[in-house]
Amino acid sequence: MRYWTYISGEVKGPFEAGALRQQPGFELASLVCPENPDGSAASDWKEASGYPDIKAALSAPVLPPPPRKPVVESPLAMTMRGTLISDPVVDGKVIESPAPALAPLQAPPPPVPAAEPVTFVQQLERMNANLSALAVGQAQLMEKLGRMEKTVTAMKTMLFPEQPK
């Protein structure tokens, strides 16, 4: 039998007794009315617990979904008892698999001799040489900047000549 139901201020349906349990907000205290021509009277609406087939459908245990099998990611998990089958046996003979080619052994690289400690004077001389190189670079950049400023000034006078007053 099919039933109309009144849930959250709305009449929904008609539904089979077993399908009522899947409706959000439906419970044994919800009002239901059988689907028949004389179901328009207010007296036809009763609580779901008043209908034995609905009560039986709602009290039946919901079967949980079957457990999911884990995804096998390694060949070790795919074998029985977690062992790998390394050499297959055919007709009682063991088929030997060729050994993997190994890379030839190389001698370790010779140790790098430790650098001699740098004295304070050597560090100071190195820093002075770096400062001299920076000063030369700075002087060259200043000279280039001066030339560019002269060029920009010349371009301004060509583009914007002074207007007579």
The 3-state secondary structure of the chain reads CEEEEEECCEEEEEEECCCHHHCCCCCCCCEEEECCCCCCCHHHCEEHHHCHHHHHHHHCCCCCCCCCCCCCCCHHHHCHHHCCCCCCEECCEECCCCCCCCCCCCCCCCCCCCCCCCCHHHHHHHHHHHHHHHHHHHHHHHHHHHHHHHHHHHHHHHHCCCCCC
pLDDT tens for residues 74-107?
555 555 555 555 555 555 555 566 666 777 777 8
Mean of pLDDT over the chain: 78
Name the pLDDT band for 126 (thresholds 50, 70, 90).
very high
pLDDT digits (tens, 9 = 90+) for 20-66: 888 888 888 888 888 875 556 667 788 888 888 888 887 766 666 67
Alpha-carbon radius of gyration of the chain: 47
Q: Which two three-digit tokens encode residue 39?
A: 């179901």
